[in-house]
Structure 1
Amino acid sequence: MSYFQTPFPYNNNSYSRTVRQVQGKMIIEGNGRITVMPDQAIMNIGVMTENSNVEIAQNENSKLSNQVIESLQQVGISSHDIQTLSYTIQPIYDFVEGKSILKGYQVQHVFEVTVRDLQKAGEAYEAAVSAGANMAGSLRFEVSNKEGYYQEALQLAMKNATEKAMKLGQQIGVTIQLPPTKITEEPVAFAPKELSMSFATETSLQAPPPIQKREIEIEAKLSAVFQY
């Protein structure tokens, strides 16, 4: 997208008119994209327990959650990369003849686990399930050096805007002045590749599932003002 703005020539006074070079500007959008392979995976996995006694449900959940944490550490996941995403306690009701009767309580503890060695993603998943994890959320791939790759995409966006401006200048017969007088970075949402994971409560994995990484596209956008 681009548009041009050209001021009208004006008179110096009512008796004489000075011929001046008319200057204008164009505003050009630039886009840059790079595709990179991820170097880490973020998985959401958790433990859910139920019991008529809330304290027992909590204790069971705490025991299983600690087992999951220990199993992840045993396969090389740092404790700093195992973070609590949510912890909830909810009452469970049965509805009998239009009345709600308290049946018990459900406790959920969900972890966000960062796997920095993608070769261990399947192994970490298997270890957590074997230790008692019975909730699975999403698995997304990311890059640890997001900012560095974004800066590369931003340079490509600037190159794209400049090339557009030069071609438009040739088409309308004007000389584009470099560098641009103003550059505005446009916000771009970073959307990592995300997969869903699910399994039955009684699942028992016999081997680590093969988890294949996917390429990630990093995009940058800007608008630049060029004088001519």
Structure 2
Amino acid sequence: MSYFQTPFPYNSNSYLRTVRQVQGKMIIEGNGRLTVMPDQAIINIGVMTENNNVEIAQNENSKQSNQVIEALQQLGISSHDIQTLSYTIHPIYDFVEGKSIFKGYQVQHVFEITVFDLQKVGEVYEAAVSAGANMAGSLRFEVSNKDGYYQEALQLAMKNATEKAMKLGQQIGVTIHVPPTKITEESVSIAPKELSISFATETSLQASPPIQKREIEIEAKISAVFQY
């Protein structure tokens, strides 16, 4: 927040009658923040297989991956909401006495799953693991209407900047002119709440884990120029 005065360039009455004199301006930062409940979850989960024959490792991975997809679809997850995030094949080695010994190949197929019924998040993990998933990554909660909430946060930021300007104007004894002559939107990212999920490759979930949704904070910032 800053402000400064611009000195009058002339004192003649004729000049003041013909030119609207701007006495000064102040630059105010405004912040707006909303806390909302998420309406969707993004889950990363995958299948890892290993074999000394790359073709066998791929076939095993494909079989388990298809089982995972089928299990998710039985829960009502659309095929459009089950996307491949990554698919990798790489050799694996053991290091013995400073020497690398070829062990085989590792195939990883990681899915990104969008879940709109947040009550099913735990069921999704249970079904995927039971079907053969043995890799877990992140779980994050998001809102589908990000733009709408961000516009609300922007309005709160503008209100915050105006209130600051009016209060400062009272303190220094000047009249603040609204609306501001310039508004600059600051860059603010919407960071979803992200959780880390992990389990051993031999894990077999016996029940759906009780995963609770978390609130999301959406923030907007502006810089506004007010004249007085």
2:195 is aligned with 1:188: no
Report Cα offsets for 1:33-59 as digits up to 9, x if no partner. Answer: 011111111110000000000110011
SS of residue paired to 1:122: helix
Structure 2 unmatched ranges of 5 or more: none
Cα displacement (A) at 1:9: 1.7
| Structure 1 partner of 2:202 | 202
Residue in 2 aligned with 1:130? 130
Corresponding residue for residue 214 of structure 1: 214
In structure 2, C-alpha distance between the alignment counterparts of 1:227 and 1:22, rounded to whole Å: 7
Partner of 2:90: 90
Q: Deviations over 1:163-205 (max 9, x none)?
A: 0000001111111111111111101121111111111111111
Separation of aligned partners in 2, 1:3 and 1:18 = 32
8 Å CA contact 1:8–1:22 kept in 2: the answer is no
Output one character per residue of 1:57-116: Cα deviation in whole Å (capped at 9) or x when no partner: 011001101111111111011111111111111101122332212110000000110001
- What corresponds to 1:5 in structure 2? 4
Aligned pairs, how many? Answer: 224
Which residue pairs with 1:57 in the alignment?
A: 57
Identity across matched positions, percent: 84
8 Å contact from structure 1 (residues 11, 18) kept in 2: no
Q: Which amino acid letter does the alignment assign opposite residue 9 of structure 1? A: F
- Partner Cα distance (2:161, 2:213) in 1: 32
Q: Which residue of 1 aligns with 2:24?
A: 24
Distance 2:130 2:96 in 1: 37
Counterpart CA distance in 1 for 2:97 and 2:156 is 66
CA distance in 2, matches of 1:97, 1:186: 56
* Residue 167 of structure 2 corresponds to residue 167 of structure 1: yes
Once residues 139 and 88 of structure 1 are traced to their aligned partners in structure 2, the CA distance between those partners, rounded to angstroms, is: 21
The one-letter amino acid paired with 2:5 is T
SS at 2:198 equivalent: coil
Aligned to 1:81: 81
Q: Distance in 2 between matches of 1:151 and 1:221?
A: 11
Task: Between 77-86 and 96-105, report the one with greater CA deviation.
Answer: 96-105
- Contact 2:22/2:227, CA 8 A, preserved across alignment: no
> Which residue identity lines up with residue 59 of structure 2 in the other structure?
N
CA-based RMSD of the aligned residues comes to 1.4
Shift of 1:207: 1.1
Q: Is the 8 A contact 1:153 1:220 kept in 2?
A: yes
- Does the 8 A contact of 1:94 with 1:100 survive in 2? yes
Residue identity opposite 1:96 in structure 2: V
* Residue 18 of structure 1: how far off its partner (Å): 6.5
Q: Give the match for residue 116 of structure 1.
A: 116
Given that residues 83 and 111 in structure 2 are in contact (C-alpha distance below 8 angstroms), is that contact kept between their aligned partners in structure 1?
Answer: yes
Q: What secondary structure does 1:161 align onto?
A: helix
The code of the aligned residue for 1:131 comes to A
Q: Is the 8 A contact 2:67 2:132 kept in 1?
A: yes
Post-superposition offset of 1:5: 2.5
**Would the aligned equivalents of 1:134 and 1:200 in 2 still touch at CA under 8 Å?**
yes
AA aligned opposite 2:8? P
Deviations 1:140-177 (A, max 9, x none): 11111111111111100000000000000111111111
TM-score normalised to the size of structure 2? 0.94
User: Quick one: which amino acid aligns to residue 9 of structure 2?
Assistant: Y
Question: SS of the residue aligned with 1:183?
Answer: strand
Q: Any unmatched runs of 5+ in structure 1?
A: none
